């Protein structure tokens, strides 16, 4: 794709996206847009104007629309510059996650971190939790990220951190966690868990753009890179895990992060979400009965 055309097209998409987001923030504006987008001719025009910055039925479709505009995607140097420093500091939402993990550390001997980058959360949570020498934290990610993660772990002489590109390696782990990564997987979380012979005792969902509307894909514009992502339906995750025998112990919101699809606020994620689940077969811990989940945001 010609660089000049691509640059002009990205500017045009951003301009239209900003205009539609502002208009959608007003009740009257959204009512107008919602009516217009149902008209075949208008919908076609809206689709053309928004380009990759619109709703899609699948992650595959969103990725196809972003092809040629992605700027390296997950491998973009600027994306890695944002992600790697996250290993050094706890972020909003992590305090709630740490609160719940800390309560059950005696039962957690291994972690499977879906899309865990270079082990960011391992290094971050290590500052707050007691990981013994036999503790194992396994990260699933892309090949180049895995290579970088292994390099960093070797430089730090860290043997508790492992890397893989196989989801099946999550089988038998104590805690299955996804933090800001479920959005990059087409497969739903309940379907992932259902595929394991030995299901995890706990499931952590954190920093995820979940929607109350139908599961919808779009493309997040990171200025120098663009990433297709899938906004999973929140209720379908809760109901799907419940069907597998999990109970939700707590949930929290992360208002400083959002994924807003221009012209489609009803299919967007105005804030990120977090949830913590436990297998019911573990029994009831009296310390959690009636506990106000707002405590989860107060820190470890």
Tell me the per-residue pLDDT of 263-276, one tens digit each, with 9 for 90 and over: 999 999 999 999 99
Rg of the chain taking only CA atoms, in angstroms: 20
pLDDT at position 93: 87
Task: Provide the percentage of residues in the chain whose pLDDT is more than 90.
Answer: 65
**Bridging pattern class, strands 216-221 and 202-208:** unpaired
Q: How far apart are CA 187 and CA 56, in angstroms?
A: 15
Q: What is the pLDDT of residues 10-24, one digit of tens each?
A: 999 999 999 999 888
How far, in Å, are 23, 278, 286 from residue 291 at the CA level? 40, 15, 9
State how far the Cα of 288 lies from the Cα of 280, in Å rounded to an integer. 13
Domains of the chain: 3-51 (no CATH), 74-297 (3.40.50.150)
Question: At residue 252, does pLDDT exceed 60?
Answer: yes
Q: State how far the alpha carbon of 2 is from the alpha carbons of 9, 51, 176, 239, in Å.
A: 10, 16, 43, 46
Q: Tell me: the pLDDT tens digits for 153-206?
A: 999 999 999 999 999 999 999 999 999 999 999 999 999 999 999 999 999 999
Mean pLDDT of 25-30: 85
Which pLDDT value is given to residue 244?
97
Mean pLDDT of 79-85: 56
pLDDT at 158: 96
Contact 57, 269 (CB under 8 A): no
Quick one: pLDDT band at residue 124, thresholds 50, 70, 90? very high
Residue 296 is predicted with a pLDDT of 38
Query: Is residue 297 scored above 50 in pLDDT?
Result: no
Residue 290 reports pLDDT greater than 50: no
Check residues 295 and 57 and name the one with the higher pLDDT.
Answer: 57
Confidence of residue 78 (pLDDT cuts 50, 70, 90): low
Q: Which of 143-147, 191-195, 211-215, 230-234 shows the lowest mean pLDDT across its residues?
A: 143-147
Burial class (CB in 10 A: 0-12, 13-18, 19+), 143: exposed
pLDDT confidence of residue 92:
81
The tokens describing 259, both together, are: 């994924």
Question: Residue 287 has what pLDDT?
Answer: 45
Strand partners, 219: 228
Cβ-based neighbours of 135, under 8 Å, separated by 6 or more: 109, 110, 160
**Is the pLDDT at 70 greater than 90, yes or no?**
no
116-140 mean pLDDT = 94
DSSP H helices in the chain: 3-24, 27-36, 40-50, 59-66, 77-83, 94-103, 120-125, 143-155, 189-194, 234-243
Whether 291 has a pLDDT exceeding 80, the answer reads no
Distance CA 7, CA 3 (A): 6
The yes-or-no verdict on residue 214 having pLDDT over 80 is: yes
């Amino acid at each position: 794709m010609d660089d000049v055309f691509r640059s002009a097209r990205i500017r045009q998409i951003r301009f239209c996206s900003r205009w539609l987001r502002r208009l959608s923030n007003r009740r009257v504006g959204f009512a107008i847009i919602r009516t217009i987008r149902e008209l075949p001719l208008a919908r076609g025009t809206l689709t053309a104007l928004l380009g990759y910055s619109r709703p899609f039925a699948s992650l595959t479709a969103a990725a196809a629309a972003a092809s040629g505009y992605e700027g390296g995607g997950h491998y973009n140097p600027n994306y890695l510059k944002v992600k790697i420093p996250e290993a050094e500091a706890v972020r909003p939402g992590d305090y709630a996650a740490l609160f719940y993990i800390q309560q059950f550390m005696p039962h957690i001997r291994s972690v499977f971190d879906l899309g865990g980058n270079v082990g960011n959360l391992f290094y971050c949570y290590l500052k707050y939790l007691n990981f013994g020498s036999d503790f194992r934290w396994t990260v699933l990610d892309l090949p180049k990220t895995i290579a970088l993660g292994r390099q960093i772990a070797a430089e730090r002489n860290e043997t508790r951190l492992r890397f893989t590109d196989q989801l099946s390696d999550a089988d038998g782990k104590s805690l299955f966690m996804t933090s800001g990564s479920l959005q990059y997987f087409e497969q739903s979380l309940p379907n992932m868990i259902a595929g394991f012979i030995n299901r995890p005792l706990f499931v952590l969902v954190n920093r995820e753009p979940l929607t109350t509307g139908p599961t919808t894909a779009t493309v997040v514009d990171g200025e120098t890179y663009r990433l297709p992502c899938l906004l999973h339906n929140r209720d379908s995750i809760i109901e799907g895990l419940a069907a597998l025998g999990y109970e939700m112990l707590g949930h929290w919101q992360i208002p400083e992060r959002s994924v807003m699809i221009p012209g489609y606020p009803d299919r967007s994620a105005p804030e990120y979400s977090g949830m913590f689940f436990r297998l019911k077969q573990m029994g009831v811990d009296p310390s959690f009965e009636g506990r106000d989940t707002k405590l989860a945001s107060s820190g470890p």
